[in-house]
Chains A and B, each alone.
Chain A
Amino acid sequence: MRQVWVVLRREYLERVKTKGFIIGTLAMPVLLLGFVGLTAFMGVQAERSEREISLIDLTGQIGDAVASGMADVGYDLEVVGTDVGLEELDRRVVDEEIAGYVILDDLTLNEGAFAYRGLDFPGTVRRALLERFVKETVLDMHLSSVGSESAVRRLLSGGGMTFESLGEEQGEMERITGIATGIAGAMVLYITMILYGAYVLRAVLDEKRNRVVEVVLSALSPWRLMLGKILGVGLMGLTQVGIWVACAAMIGLLGVPMVAAALPAADLSEIAEFLPGLGALGLLLVFFILGYFLYSSLFAAVGAMCNTEEEAQQAQFPVITLLIAPFMMQMMTLGGRAPGWMDWAAVFPFFSPVMMYPRAVAGSVPWWMVALSLVLMAVAVVGTAWVAGRIYRVGILMQGKRPTLREVVRWIRVA
């Protein structure tokens, strides 16, 4: 085991120390930051240019103050009289004359809580702004009048907007968050499998081509060498992804509020609802580890079979196809509902990382299917490692022409 560790450590350190790794690792969060900043900015722009929303103040006391507060930061609200009635406003929403409307009632006066009715969620920044101005206005009112201390306290602890959807589905928020996390996770898995798989392939091929492997293999078994390499590259991958996730979390927790604060807005910590939970992250890790082992051993075998870069380009094609196919299927069904057979395709171990992870996070398949796919992946990891190890063992010392498929099968059987 010590030898595996020696190989692992060399592989890891030699990679992590390169300029390419450092630049690659740091470039990603910068890009991400730019991306998030841009989306946030565009989101605010989009919210502002959306159809108007109305406000109906059933208490008749705070509506105008809230509306003027919102107007100051660029969000116009049309205050409608109580004579219009909720039914009429619902109709306007459904007929898409307005995007939605805010209802201020007695509960608002007591606790700062209010409802928003619309087909779609009003947008993150707008929601936060609404909550802030409603709260401020009510607080002002209580402080300047006969408000009791307990009312102020209730106000401070409570409040917030309730979204009453007039669209088809309830709980839209959670679903969207789940889908977004799932898709982002699938992307991360897809990219890392291809990226780190290629690293493993290159590492094996280089070692074979410059014949270092003959010296190294005089001291340890091919199997240990392969394991050490895969673990080393994998650990580097985890380091990189870990740094990315940490950066993303920081951007999420600090960055977005900062972006929003640059706009005249208040506490946006609710944004955290959009961030994937720890559970989703943990699951990502599990899928990454299993998927990485599955694919990296295949890539290692391909590297051991080839002698030149060009050969490897061709020979890795079947493996790449195994990765691209589920990615395509996943992307094609991004918007709408996926057909049922795809849920089963997601159980296929080689497709699972890209296809099952988003399903698991979005909760669109039963938990036992997720569990089944994890078990199948674990089994497949063992099987692939066995086959790949045998190909590797023979191929790594084989020079000359690329073996035919029949020869490879013989390596697996005989070696």
Chain B
Amino acid sequence: MTDPVVRLSGVTKSFGAHTAVSEFDLTIPRGTILGLLGPNGSGKTTTIRMMMAILLPDRGTVELLGGFPDFSRRARVGYLPEERGVYVKMKVLDQLVFLGELRGMARPVVRRRAMEWLERLGLGEWASKKVQELSKGMQQKVQFIGTVLHDPDLLILDEPFSGLDPINQDVLESIVREQREQGKTILFSTHLMEQAERMCERVCLISKSRKVLDGNLKKLKRRERSGVVAIEFEGDDRWLLRMGFTDPERVGDAYHLAVSDTATQDRLLAGAVAEGVSLRRFEVLEPSLHEIFVRHAGEQSDEPPLRAAGGAR
């Protein structure tokens, strides 16, 4: 694990009175899949655009592949912007060849590779059709090919799966995974938590222009254990009351109990045994990403963040 592929430190960007991204720090190590998560308007796209030097931060520094995101570095990135942009009047293959050549690839090489990709994504027979004749989903696939065509070290995908049907989402997901296996680093933004949970090794949550938290997804989940135990058993639930769990929440067959620490956990388990309850299930629940997010984003909005108070002038 050498230098990080992307490093943002203290990045802030405002548009007029509106602060789009505030005091943002993020490090992406080589060879991971990182999901940038947040609701619409939370600053995901602005952050990505700063990584690509489409926007320059008001404050802070952006490093891409070890330095300022200049052309030579950006040329090693595959960038899929949020807004789907294609030359609709151009033929599919011509368009891909154009994009490849812009990045310095030789014409025959791009042509061959673009054809391979088109075949692979089931667009082979569309190669000489104009882009505007394709469906939205197909256009999106063409654009995705344009992103990976030049074999970039880093993929930056802004909402890559939005607007795709489930089948094509799966196809694209598997390609993203495969790229990861080839040692590439992938950053993608999404507002779909389930997807991020399925795909990411690391996540970075943003809400209201600030980073809420980031890190390895598994570790995050372990750390963020909700303190909820799901318990299922035979018989009535009066023993729970006797033990002081006055307000169990019923979820299907299970009871969800708030358990603040491991001692309480142990007490609960011991109590069940002592009462002779026949347990079917006893599970310390891991929170979903969604829950983690809501929890942290909620905190964020309730109390004004200290850093901003000290840092903003």
Contacts and interface: CB of A to CB of B under 8 A. Distances in A.
Contacts, number: 64
Contacts of A210: 83, 85-88
A14 B81 contact: no
A218 interface: yes
B83 A214 contact: yes
A248 interface: no
Interface string B69-106: 00100110101110111111110001000110111100
A221 B81 CA distance: 17
Given A10-B98, A220-B102, A212 B86 contact: yes
Given A3-B102, A220-B71, A215 B79 contact: yes
Nearest to A396: B54
Interface in A63-107: none
Interface residues on B, range: 20 to 34
Given A10-B98, A219-B103, A220-B102, A214 B74 contact: no
Contact of A217 (B15, B54, B84, B103): B54
Interface in B36-65: 49, 52, 54-55
A410 interface: no
A7 B86 CA distance: 15
A214 B46 CA distance: 13
Interface residues of A, number: 21
B146 interface: yes
Contacts of B49: 214, 397
B74 A212 contact: no
A2 B104 contact: yes
Nearest to B52: A218
Contacts of A184: none
Contacts of B84: 211
A407 to B, nearest CB: 11
Contacts of B102: 3, 6-7, 216, 219-220
A14 B90 contact: yes
Contacts of B15: 400
A213 interface: yes
Given A214-B54, A218-B77, 8 more contacts: A6-B98, A210-B85, A210-B86, A214-B49, A215-B79, A215-B81, A219-B71, A221-B71
Interface of B: 15, 49, 52, 54-55, 71, 74-75, 77, 79-81, 83-90, 94, 98-99, 101-104, 143, 146-147
Interface of A: 2-3, 6-7, 10, 14, 18, 210-221, 397, 400
